[in-house]
Structure 1
């Protein structure tokens, strides 16, 4: 396997480059989000527009140019440009995991809230899977790290990602982008905005992309691990007066993915599920190895999805206050089909599939009142209501691991929140906020496989979260802050295969709570050409919701989602950049992370884990104690650096040279499991092209993964189905840039 091994010297050199930097993953966003001569980047992290440098939170802001330089074209790639963010793909988007600072939701049940919320224009998505598509018409992306429950509720206990799309413009503007690659990816998107009348403006955008994939199914010769998606979005903004505006946003998207998980490691001579069939028989032509991109599946594993919705946003000036109302509705459906034996075995007893559907309907209503932001005492007070329904029919069979069930989950919440800033001294501001919410949850579960057994239940709880922060300005461009905040993730039911009377009698899983302490320094020097932001954080999660071995009311035990103990995560994040002139720009983001299980005494053993590896098999089911172990999906060091040089070629044309370096430290995808350990790796992307002086057009040729480094964003230990014992059988989901590829991208903006 080709690999770049980063010595300490390389890491230190890259970090040293980072220390000479500018605006928090965000200088590029400034070009689109704020006037270039102010150096300000405007965000809405605290539900009001303000300079990111004045926000006492850890916020990264990313714009379209930086996304392009890093090779980011869909939601699953966002971890490349936000080091604290890790996105682990799965066989379908619903099972993918999004984590911040090593904290995410590692569960598949439809009623389980995510730890990282995803919003589009401040409107939450019911399923994170709803976001796993292209990123059309993006103005900027805000990544808020750490608990955000006070302003954003129970689905943001580890942070949130807010995708901000473009708004209608006062003049006619047309933007278009197109991409084509050497490995047959094609994509295009457009945006048209402008006035319809003196009081009515519009924006219409659309996107389409297709990529066949980088895995070959030898059974039928087709490429898999690809995707196809299309979307349209429109906004109408009516401004009947200077004191009122109403914006209607509508969106629709559909697409599909194909699935293929090649074996990258396998002990020779393995036989499938005790049948006597060798791997060479059930997967003819497949040669497992680090660079393997072949599978042999006799069932087309895939997903198709469709969703749409809209929101109505009103902003009204009431004296020196602003009233904001946001009403939204969203509907989403994803159908999944999977070859659960992942072979092309000819034996009927070994041919197994699983199919299912995820359906969601979400309605939300938020109302908030904002005081004058220019006064020493300013506040935001609001109320929030949400109602979400999920459905999940699921089937697996007909040969083994049989399952056939239908589940529904309902949740409704109502909350009130307030946050106030008090500038009690000329250079000192105290911020305090609180939220109280009541949530009601309910479920039904019909076990068709086992005699149509039916279960149902409901529960409710009330919880409060709060935040307090002190910020001090040493100068207009240098400030420091200290913040204490709490987080909350709601109770839930584990609606997955194996749900039975014991699980029903056990009741809901208790809420997960957290407390977070942060210290930050925000600096801009040399007429805002140099920006250096650093944040230290220390967060503890209690009643952590995770898969574990649980003792049920009848004293039997099984694996289920439950409260397992505590997790602690602490570290340092650096967002920085340097822009000495309009010819040169350097951005960097760094995350140094220490995430460990403080208490996790009953974790399931990984497949074929021995007693020497920590598995206690004296009880059934077997378990391991992960207390003190490093958390999964939490690299100790991760950073990216993007540099851009735009020399003048003629009076109206500039050259373009962009280089992007992404380093990710080693990581476990399953705790302690050596088959799911990913070594450190570095990816380098390079772009060369030209652009108009006023950015009316740009053309660039690019090479992603310049040094052809192979790495895996997800690894699966399948040794259990190949004889167990000390056998090795590791499958992988390959990243988009598993192999080096090139392409051309072009954009118009006029």
Structure 2
């Protein structure tokens, strides 16, 4: 689709040149919204809407050195993205709900294009124009997997800026970042931009087994954007992006020894391609829009799944996935009545191979010892040093949705009612196999002898499917006044169900145990699938601004009643997988406050605070009753505060010096359903000083300056406890040039 748009735009440019550019209509007839296709489904001014939101503009993006979503964590209240594992790990927690694997609770749109897989959320972007973080269910307009909120990221448009931009950065741990981007207008109606980006780091954490850094990374990306306005009322924007990431990752520390020490390879590799085409046609009383996207992921996660120097087992998960989305949107207004409606459809296909390789220690301790304890007179010995539990999956998901929202203005009041009907079908075709053998010995006689040799030949296959139909209403009431507005909302959120593909190795392991006379533990139909998660969200909030806009404040109170909340757990005992399960019922309530104050032209102060109390209302997993306990991994408090000061300088060398000091706080976090292990509240201090001259800036910065020690992840696997430490102190310098 990108080349089609570029070809048409090029023909238009050549045609315009042939007819003399001087006779074209001037640029001034194109308003800002027409130049850059943004805000398709909501107002460009988020603070006018009945929603809790945080907008991070381009200047704040540069001050905080934001290039990825994880850099925005805590800036918005009750918005937390822990940094652990690898770039495949994109866990987001908002208001007590979150997801570690499979379906996200927060949607991501980049230049209006929805990203369909949260494993592809963590990537770097250059020339970010603004980031919008919407909290609370956005399911009515945006559908599945936005029950916790939505992130909109917009990159710079070649119709808004023209020129060459260069960025170079160097920091501790031999961290390097470099970006070059070029923006040009070929004529008043056509603009293009190209951006290239590269980053490298040696890593922060050392694997004691080989003495090397385990979280090293190289990443590169290219972006090609075309903006074309063939007519005054028609705008077309297409963005093609390619991203390549090669990294180590998974620096998990064994709590018993306090060391990262594993003997097998861990890495994550990903190549991603996205292409998004957005068109908007403005008529007298109606705006028609279309958003079409293609997404492709080719990735490989390989890891030492026991994270120990012993040889238990390793996992490789190779995946090729592509997705198509199409969203048709119409919106209009007649007097005091306005409406928005649309049709959304998607198709996603995944081809995945995920073998688990059992090695010497794993065979002995997880299989042989258990078998021999059950039948000590006829012990077994495995005939190979290793064997493979093979798993192949073909997963196709498609869905279609109709949605509509009507709003009516009654004086100072605005009432809006939205509804969405969402249909989704999920199909899984699987094949699990194993080919190995073991020898049974008879030790009841004076001299042990071979009793027999038993082969293990398993080749299981099957098909599973699930269909989900959801009705997602939303009602908002807003009272507007000169200084802002007060609003209330009731909305239903929805997170899709699916299949636990990572549990097939466990299922296969238990099949082997069953062949030895031990009972099989799992039923495929029961253990593999999990149900959708739904919620009702009740919220009241307000947006205030002083007359001169020097002071703004946003606040919200919320209550969430969640059914079948999806939780990632590691099954008890000596198992190899992790499972998504549904808790019976949870509830969450809390408050949010954000403020910004500019006491003088040189000063800017901003702060945010979020409080969440999220607990199980009803959750009994058959082993223990966790009702009344806090929900794991979701922080109880988030804090952000920043102070910015700019000092003009009358010098040939400098125009200004800008100082920034900021602090981020998170906690307390409970790590398990029993609430026995916790991460106390911690705060990270950051600061920067920027020297500015015309289109040049040099920034010296530091993150976690005080060297605070904290944990970002905790889990238990095969009876062993692991955690990941937060990143240590990091300092560096960033150079930016514009021509």
TM bucket normalised to smaller: 0.7 to 0.9
Q: 2:549 aligns with which of 528, 544, 551?
A: 528
Q: 1:195 aligns with which of 162, 175, 185?
A: 185
- Alignment partner of 1:84 is 2:78: yes
Can you give the 5+ residue segments of structure 1 that lack an aligned partner in the other structure? 1-37, 267-287, 551-557, 603-621, 722-729
Does the 8 Å CA contact 1:43/1:52 hold for their aligned counterparts? no
> Which residue is equivalent to 2:731?
742
- Alignment partner of 1:509 is 2:568: no
- Aligned-pair distance for 1:182? 2.7
Using a 3 Å threshold, how does the CA distance of structure 1 residues 719 and 365 change in structure 2: closer, same or farther?
Answer: closer
1:544-569 per-residue CA deviation (whole Å, 9 max, x = no partner) reads 2235799xxxxxxx985343211111
- Aligned-pair distance for 1:43? 12
Does the 8 Å CA contact 1:535/1:573 hold for their aligned counterparts? yes
Q: Distance in 1 between matches of 2:507 and 2:108?
A: 28
Q: The residue matched to 1:157 in structure 2 has which SS?
A: coil
Q: Distance in 1 between matches of 2:88 and 2:351?
A: 13
Q: 2:407 aligns with which of 403, 421, 428?
A: 421
- Pick which of 304-313 and 94-103 moved more: 94-103
Does the 8 Å CA contact 1:89/1:733 hold for their aligned counterparts? no
- Alignment partner of 1:478 is 2:484: yes
1:268-317 per-residue CA deviation (whole Å, 9 max, x = no partner) reads xxxxxxxxxxxxxxxxxxxx44xxxx633332211111010201111112
Using a 3 Å threshold, how does the CA distance of structure 1 residues 391 and 78 change in structure 2: closer, same or farther?
Answer: farther
Q: Distance in 1 between matches of 2:75 and 2:405?
A: 30
1:78-121 per-residue CA deviation (whole Å, 9 max, x = no partner) reads 314223122234534434422211211244xxxx4222222212
> Which residue is equivalent to 2:661?
659
> Which residue is equivalent to 2:12?
none
Using a 3 Å threshold, how does the CA distance of structure 1 residues 431 and 744 change in structure 2: closer, same or farther?
Answer: same
1:207-255 per-residue CA deviation (whole Å, 9 max, x = no partner) reads 1111111112343332122322111111111111101111121010001
Equivalent residues, number: 635
- Aligned-pair distance for 1:71? 5.1
Mapping 1:534-613, distance limit 5 Å:
534-547=555-568, 560-602=579-621
- Aligned-pair distance for 1:356? 1.5
> Which residue is equivalent to 1:459?
466
Does the 8 Å CA contact 1:71/1:704 hold for their aligned counterparts? no
Q: 1:495 aligns with which of 501, 504, 524?
A: 501
- Aligned-pair distance for 1:712? 1.4
- Structure 1 moving runs of 4+ over 4 Å: 42-46, 505-508, 547-550
Does the 8 Å CA contact 2:271/2:297 hold for their aligned counterparts? yes
Does the 8 Å CA contact 1:73/1:135 hold for their aligned counterparts? yes
- Pick which of 430-439 and 484-493 moved more: 484-493
1:137-189 per-residue CA deviation (whole Å, 9 max, x = no partner) reads 21111111111110010111221222222222255233232211132101022
> Which residue is equivalent to 2:672?
670
Q: 2:429 aligns with which of 432, 436, 444?
A: 444
Does the 8 Å CA contact 1:67/1:81 hold for their aligned counterparts? no
- Alignment partner of 1:325 is 2:325: no
Q: Distance in 2 between matches of 1:542 and 1:43?
A: 37
Q: The residue matched to 1:371 in structure 2 has which SS?
A: strand
Q: 2:356 aligns with which of 380, 387, 396?
A: 396
Q: Distance in 2 between matches of 1:199 and 1:660?
A: 41
Q: Distance in 2 between matches of 1:72 and 1:48?
A: 24
> Which residue is equivalent to 1:690?
691
- Aligned-pair distance for 1:495? 2.3
Q: The residue matched to 1:527 in structure 2 has which SS?
A: coil
Instruction: Give the TM-score normalised by the residue count of structure 2.
Output: 0.81
Mapping 1:60-459, distance limit 5 Å:
60-70=54-64, 72-107=66-101, 112-169=102-159, 172-263=162-253, 265-266=255-256, 288-289=257-258, 295-345=260-310, 350=311, 352-372=313-333, 375-399=335-359, 400=362, 403-425=389-411, 427-449=412-434, 451-459=458-466
Can you give the 5+ residue segments of structure 2 that lack an aligned partner in the other structure? 1-31, 367-387, 435-456, 509-521, 572-576
Q: Distance in 2 between matches of 1:486 and 1:310?
A: 31
Q: The residue matched to 1:259 in structure 2 has which SS?
A: coil
Using a 3 Å threshold, how does the CA distance of structure 1 residues 463 and 741 change in structure 2: closer, same or farther?
Answer: closer
Using a 3 Å threshold, how does the CA distance of structure 1 residues 536 and 94 change in structure 2: closer, same or farther?
Answer: same
Does the 8 Å CA contact 1:261/1:731 hold for their aligned counterparts? no
Does the 8 Å CA contact 1:566/1:598 hold for their aligned counterparts? yes
Does the 8 Å CA contact 1:127/1:360 hold for their aligned counterparts? no
Q: Distance in 2 between matches of 1:396 and 1:661?
A: 42
Q: The residue matched to 1:445 in structure 2 has which SS?
A: strand
Q: The residue matched to 1:150 in structure 2 has which SS?
A: helix
Mapping 1:723-734, distance limit 5 Å:
730-734=721-725
Q: The residue matched to 2:719 in structure 1 has which SS?
A: helix
Q: Distance in 2 between matches of 1:260 and 1:650?
A: 50
- Aligned-pair distance for 1:496? 2.5
Using a 3 Å threshold, how does the CA distance of structure 1 residues 416 and 132 change in structure 2: closer, same or farther?
Answer: same
Q: Distance in 1 between matches of 2:570 and 2:296?
A: 35
- Aligned-pair distance for 1:123? 1.5
Does the 8 Å CA contact 2:570/2:716 hold for their aligned counterparts? no
Q: Distance in 1 between matches of 2:426 and 2:262?
A: 39
Q: Distance in 2 between matches of 1:388 and 1:711?
A: 38
Using a 3 Å threshold, how does the CA distance of structure 1 residues 430 and 455 change in structure 2: closer, same or farther?
Answer: same
Does the 8 Å CA contact 2:205/2:213 hold for their aligned counterparts? yes
Q: Distance in 2 between matches of 1:358 and 1:527?
A: 53
Q: The residue matched to 2:428 in structure 1 has which SS?
A: strand
